[in-house]
Amino acid sequence: MQRYLLQRLASLLLTLVGVSIAIFFMIRLLPGNIIDLEFFGDPNATPALKHRAAEQIGLVGSYPTQYFHWVGGLLRGDLGRSLLSQQPVSIAVGQAIPITAELIVLGVLFALAVAIPLGMISAVMRDRPADYVARFTGLIGISIPNFWLATLLLILTSRVFHWVPSLTYVRLTHHPIANIEQFFMPAIAMSVFTLALVMRMLRTTMLEVMKLDYVRTARAKGLSRRSVLVRHVLRNALIPVATVVGYEIGYLISSAVVVEAIFDLPGLGSTLLNALNLRDYPTIEAIVMIITAVFLVVNTVVDILYGILDPRISLTT
Amino acid sequence: MSDKPIEVSPATREISRRDLLVKAGMVGAGGIAAGALTGPAGAVARVARNSAKTIPTGGTITWALNQDPGEIAPFGGVLSATQWGNEMMYDSLLQWDHKLNLRTALATYEVISPTEIHWTIVPGRKFSNGQPVTAADLQYSFQLQSTDPAPGSISALGQFPSIDVANSGPISTYKYRMALSRPDARVFGYLAWTRYSGIVPNGMYESLNPSVSGIGTGPFMLSGDYQPGVGINYVKNPYFWQPGLPYLDGINYEIITQDSTAIAALISGDLDGATVSNANALTLVGHPGLTVLHNLTAAFRELQMTIKAGDTKPWWDLRVRQAVSLAINRTNIIDNVYAGYGQLTGHVAAGYGPWPLTTAELATYETQDVAKAKSLMSAAGYGSGFSVTMTTFSTPSDFPAMAQLIASDLSAIGIDVSIVPQPSATFAAANGNGSFDWDLTARGMRGDVDGYVAEFNPADAVYDIWFSGFKNTEMWRLVGDGRIQLNETKRLPIYHDLDSLLMTQLLEVPIVSVESFQVVSDKLKNMYVSFTGSNPGLRYVYLES
């Protein structure tokens, strides 16, 4: 187990190094930077003036030099400064992380809270009307783009109820109810795909597990139907679901980019989108590194959980 | 120079469902998106005419900014959004009214000589901390404007006119001597453009973080720091110098980047106003509780071409450039891309005070004439046409749409246009280094009329980058004369002649001037869509109970 963990840690670090190189060079290979945007339309923009402006914000030196300077900062916990505001990126990112984290946690909780019962009902009532309804719902959930659903929800509540979630971010610690009100619709919009995926996977897995010998044995022992379903079928059927949820975290982070923009939430997604438009390299790099790290850590944890949930799986290799 | 307050009831253009139907009839079926007309009819908008009644005071409004300012420092600001974020807080020495007439804001002036101007601060002008504005504050502010310290960018230095800060300075506590390194007519417009020339108290940059905080003389002052990505809250400045203003107790800016979100919040009543796209604004005409405002803006569209030394392209021939301009159906663009809300423009933005050519004059140059265009192409030896790449912005969507119509028009005279939509940073990079053939772009507000023709001045850097293969001494003379002529009466014909000359030379082909739209709550009165692209109207708005 210890060796496995060390291997995973080493692989995680290597991946982070790879991503840091990729993101650093890829965004610089895009034509145009913040200096071009700042000087756009200025008839007096000489190359010398542009160079001075680049010097002023630290955009000078060869790419390798800039890369090592940036990585050196990262190792010291310094994410750099925004090219636009010259403020430490850590401030913007620090404000955005709790928002995106809350959105993802709520999205996952909502998806699981709906998908697990729905998947169970669908499996237990196979080929009956309830199953058809659940499967159709799942199909819709997988097909609907989250930006469309988010916009639709917003328009619907605005036109029908004359209500939209608060335009100003409300902290969970400051006003929990208002905070949940604000995050409810974005969480739904973001989680529908995950919800549908989990529901369909759970249904399929449960149907497979229900045919296995140990389930028949459990029934033969005289255990109640509920007990068999929950303790023997569902528990085992949830193992692959755990893996899917781990990977879905990555999907939810990418969904957050759009959903945060639509619901006016100043999370990592909308910060990243704004930074991309402005070619604010340090902010883009910091957010991509954070998202990568979260994705890798979550999946490492999922792999470990997998072994705990299913003792047949060894974590030694 | 008048010291009286700006008039409080600016002419604003509201649009009603009836207006829209008339406009739709003019442009034909489909000119306005089907389904655009929502809500019951009859909610005809009313122009706020408040001169004779008592204006209610108090209340706080929520206004949407469709881009995060990133920072709100007064100097070196390069994004429009930076100005949106700080314009309620800072004033310049002068200000524009809604018709772009210059008015006194903080100081009156006296031109002593072509290179010396004396400024006298009007008694009672104070910063929001209660401290009076002094000549020392002016000197400090000009020093910062001429160096643009971080967090701004020195990219704004190109806007700084010939103020010789080192040789300028206080004459007394409230009197300031401004020296110019050369006669420069741009100085007055610059000093009315708060985007670059705000006045701050001496030592402000050393005492606070100007990225998120600030002290100015504007009608509102910050309530807490600006939170990037979140918003900005302003409250009434008790020391504001215009009597009775502001009417509101506060303005909360929310950063709402999506039109759909802003519209939902406007409908629900959570938002009092927002700038939205032309197409989206029109969907709200007649909606109960909302008023759609529109006005011409400085951001006219134009086709830029490069004529570089050592290169040979078909449009080096004047007849080809003239053919391009004559082949374009501008009315079609206005009707189909901008739903009828636009007009012809020259090189100086239509609506920019007294400076642009009149619509009648423009029509003589810009009315579509395909037969003449074909004959010019043949005379130039390009009767069988040529191929060219035209880059434009990928968003907003009016640019690719306009590009399609232009390409279609030009195909009639044999020009095969490949359209390449690009993100703004990519577009800006190629535009700045001149590595483009044709750019379909937009202009914007300029502090002075010179800003619209500065690229034709061989002394400016961009001339060498774009037009190094072009020579026209008459054009050069007019551009130079206009910049140094301080007398406006003598200056006006210079720019008239220059724009007329440019309309025949067509180094750049003006396309159309377009209108911008804002949607506001019915209870918000006195707002107008500013030609400048920012929101000075918010200084004068009030809430009707």
Coil, helix or strand for B380?
coil
Residue in B446, B493, B490, B483 with CA at minimum distance from that of residue B182: B483
The answer, for A217 touching chain B at a CB cutoff of 8 Å, is: no
Does the predicted TM-score (pTM) go above 0.80?
A: yes
Residue whose tokens read 């109640």: A224
Scanning B2-93, the segments in alpha helix (DSSP H) are 17-27, 80-86
Per the CB < 8 Å rule, is B425 touching A33?
yes
Residue whose tokens read 């990243």: A272
Substitution target from B68, B159, B252, B483 for chain A, most A beta carbons within 10 A: B68
- Among B159, B264, B429, select the one facing A32 at the smallest CB separation: B429
Q: Residue B339: what are its φ and ψ, rounded to 5°?
A: 50, 30
- Tell me what the mean pLDDT of segment A122-142 comes to: 91
For B340, the token pair is 């009828």
Predicted local confidence at residue B1, as pLDDT: 40
pLDDT greater than 50 at residue B46: no
- Touching B: A residues 89-108, CB under 8 Å: 91-92, 95-96
Domain ranges of chain B: 300-515
CATH superfamily of the domain spanning B300-515: Dipeptide-binding Protein; Domain 3 (3.10.105.10)
Distance, in angstroms, between A21 CA and closest chain B CA?
Answer: 22
Per CB-CB distance under 8 Å, the chain A contacts of B429 are: 31-33, 36
pLDDT greater than 50 at residue B135: yes
Per CB-CB distance under 8 Å, the chain B contacts of A45 are: 155, 158, 432, 461-462
Distance, in angstroms, between A149 CA and closest chain B CA?
Answer: 12
| Region for residue B436 given its phi and psi (left: phi exceeds 0; alpha: psi -120 to 50; beta: otherwise) | beta
Q: Lowest mean pLDDT: which of A2-11, B16-25, B471-480?
A: B16-25
pLDDT greater than 50 at residue B490: yes
pLDDT, tens digit, 9 for 90 and up, residues A65-92: 999 999 999 999 999 999 988 889 999 9
Predicted local confidence at residue B357, as pLDDT: 97
Predicted local confidence at residue B52, as pLDDT: 56
Query: What does the alpha-carbon distance between residue A267 and residue A99 come to, in Å, rounded to a whole number?
Result: 5
**Contacts of residue A237, Cβ cutoff 8 Å, sequence gap at least 6:** A202, A205, A206, A208, A209
The answer, for A277 touching chain B at a CB cutoff of 8 Å, is: yes
- Tell me what the mean pLDDT of segment B285-309 comes to: 95
State the sign of the Cα–Cα–Cα–Cα dihedral A7, A11, A12, A14: positive
Per CB-CB distance under 8 Å, the chain B contacts of A278 are: 70, 79, 425
- Are the CB atoms for B305 and B502 separated by under 8 Å? no
For B12, the token pair is 């604003």
Per the CB < 8 Å rule, is B423 touching A277?
yes
Per CB-CB distance under 8 Å, the chain A contacts of B455 are: 43
Per CB-CB distance under 8 Å, the chain A contacts of B229 are: 92, 95-96, 266, 270-271, 274
Residue in A161, A157, A167 with CA at minimum distance from that of residue A262: A167
- Among B252, B257, B460, select the one facing A44 at the smallest CB separation: B460
Substitution target from A28, A33, A35, A40 for chain B, most B beta carbons within 10 A: A40
Task: Tell me the C-alpha to C-alpha distance, in Å, between residue A29 and each of A23, A24, A32, A33, A281.
Answer: 10, 9, 9, 10, 11
Query: What does the alpha-carbon distance between residue B521 and residue B270 come to, in Å, rounded to a whole number?
Result: 10
Distance, in angstroms, between B7 CA and closest chain A CA?
Answer: 32
Q: Which amino acid is at B236?
A: K
Q: Are strands B386-393 and B415-422 parallel, antiparallel or unpaired?
A: parallel
Q: What is the ipTM of this complex?
A: 0.86
- Are the CB atoms for B220 and B234 separated by under 8 Å? yes
Three-state secondary structure readout of B40-51: CCCCCCCCCCCC
